[in-house]
Amino acid sequence: MLNNFSFKNPTKLIMGKGMIAHLSAEIPSDKKVMITFGGGSVKKHGIYEQVKDALKNHDTVEFWGIEPNPKIETLRKAIELGKEEKVDFLLAVGGGSVIDGTKLISAGLLYDGDAWDLVKKGCETETIPLGTVLTIPATGSEMNNGAVISCLETKEKYAFFSNGPKFSILDPEVTFSLPDYQIACGIADTFVHVLEQYLTKSGESRVMDRWAESILQTLVEIAPKIKENKKDYQNMADFMMCATMALNGFIAMGVSQDWATHMIGHEVTALTGLTHGHTLAIIMPGTMDVMRKQKYEKIMQLGSRVFGVVSGTHDFRINETIRKTRDFFNSLGLTTSLHEENINEDVISEIERRFNDRDVHLGEDGLVTGTIAKEILTKVL
């Protein structure tokens, strides 16, 4: 049965070719804007010039160097600069890491203490307004209020909730120059975002189920085409839309959510540095396998509606669906076992220890403890 829910997503989505030129209309002209970036790839591909050109009549300051899995150590510097410069609008130009990091900056600029407090607290409602120009479809951060922030010093990585962007600009053409590995991880990330909100309990919402499957079916359809040619506008537009729609709340209304795979994945990234989407591709088939009893109706539905697994015993269909999920990640060019990435049992033990220390109970029914996380990771070792 549908769970009671409340849904609101006020982010303005502006999508299409040439839309970066519309930036100036979205930011009041009297604002002092800090533009945040990752590394230099936006300069190589002309995105930087488009942004600067659109904002040529605005007062801007730039902050460079928000890294993948944005670090509190870096973000503290951005907050310092923003306070010095009396910034009152933020524009994140980058992928999920730049946007996530900038969400923390938007809260940190109005906070007197150390911004890592905000991450530990998990939420901050007072923020300065933020817009984004997305360059990597993957995390969905461009249209939600979540962010994941890491601490280099303690090797910790936590989710933090804030206000979502006022607006996000998505031009599919900016994806044409993405490295293959980033596209593969972005597709895997998107696929698993959907599964976290879908592969739970059955019979909660027919519409949400089908909307989730719509994104999965689309990803399965376009992934091989994108591998052939990553400069096809329509395919990249579909990919970009999938990534945003997978984590803006549109497929989460009134349905149970899991997120155990993500929590385990965050630990793997924190401990080894492996890219987020790649950790998910490795772990998700393990989660499906270990939680097959609890999730069996939804695994069967995934099999029949997305992978065409429609006959055979329940066990056969579940095994086939897990295999096809793993095959899909492999088809993107990603490995799907820990040892292929030189991750060993020490990492598994450390994650078990951390989860036990924090006494976590993850997943839609709170069944994923340190012990179960170890079981999942051992399945995909």
Binding residues for its own copies, rule CB under 8 A, total 44
Q: Of 9-17, 74-82, 113-121, 187-195, which part binds its own copies (CB under 8 A)? A: 9-17
Tell me: does residue 9 bind its own copies (CB under 8 A): yes
Q: Contact letters (x/-) for its own copies, 168-197, by CB under 8 A?
A: ----x-------------------------
* Dist CA 336 CA 327 (whole Å): 9
> Who's near 191: CB < 8 A, 6+ residues apart?
216, 219, 328, 329
Alpha-carbon distance 228 to 55, whole Å?
A: 36
Residue 207 lies near its own copies (rule: CB under 8 A): yes
Site for its own copies contains 237 (CB under 8 A)? yes
Among 76, 250, 304, 365, binds its own copies (CB under 8 A): 250
Rg (CA), the chain: 20
Q: Identify the sign of the CA torsion 64, 70, 73, 75.
A: positive
CB of 208 to its own copies, least distance (A): 8
Question: Is 3 among the residues that bind its own copies (CB under 8 A)?
Answer: yes
* 14 scored as a contact of its own copies (CB under 8 A): yes
Interface pick for its own copies out of 48, 211, 259, 355 (rule CB under 8 A):
211
Three-state DSSP class for residue 203: coil
Going from the C-alpha of 293 to that of each of 223, 259, 262, the distances in angstroms are: 30, 17, 20
Closest CA to 324 of 250, 204, 219, 246: 219
Please report how close the Cβ of residue 55 comes to its own copies at its closest, in angstroms. Answer: 19
DSSP character at residue 66: P
Q: Is 19 in the site for its own copies (CB under 8 A)?
A: yes
Name the minimum Å distance from CB 75 to its own copies: 28
Does the footprint of its own copies cover residue 308 (CB under 8 A)?
A: no
Report which of 139, 134, 75 is spatially closest to residue 105, judged by C-alpha positions.
Answer: 75
Which listed residue (61, 81, 253, 381) binds its own copies by CB under 8 A?
A: 253
DSSP type of residue 131: E
User: Closest CB to its own copies among 160 and 211?
Assistant: 211
Which listed residue (47, 178, 242, 332) binds its own copies by CB under 8 A? 242
Burial of 134 (C-beta count, 10 Å sphere; 0-12/13-18/19+): buried
What are φ and ψ of residue 55, in 5° steps? -105, 25
- Per CB under 8 A, 5 contacts its own copies: yes
By the 10 Å C-beta count (0-12 exposed, 13-18 middle, 19+ buried), 32 is classed as: middle
Question: Which one, 11 or 141, has the nearer CB to its own copies?
Answer: 11
Which positions from 214 through 233 interact with its own copies, judged by CB under 8 A? 214-215, 217-218, 221-222, 233
Task: Report long-range pairs for 108-114 (Cβ below 8 Å, ≥24 apart).
Answer: 108/75, 108/76, 108/79, 108/82, 109/79, 109/82, 109/83, 114/76
Q: Which one of 16, 65, 146, 333 is in contact with its own copies (CB under 8 A)? A: 16
Binding of residue 206 to its own copies (CB under 8 A): yes
Specify the DSSP class assigned to residue 368: B
For its own copies, the closer of residues 37 and 239 by Cβ is: 239
Question: 19: Cβ–Cβ under 8 A, 6 or more apart, which residues?
Answer: 169, 170, 171
Q: Is 255 in the site for its own copies (CB under 8 A)?
A: no
Give yes or no for residue 161 binding its own copies (CB under 8 A).
Answer: no
3 vs 125, beta carbon nearer its own copies = 3
Q: Point out which residues bind its own copies (CB under 8 A).
A: 1-19, 172, 203, 205-208, 210-211, 213-215, 217-218, 221-222, 233-234, 237-238, 241-242, 245, 250, 253-254
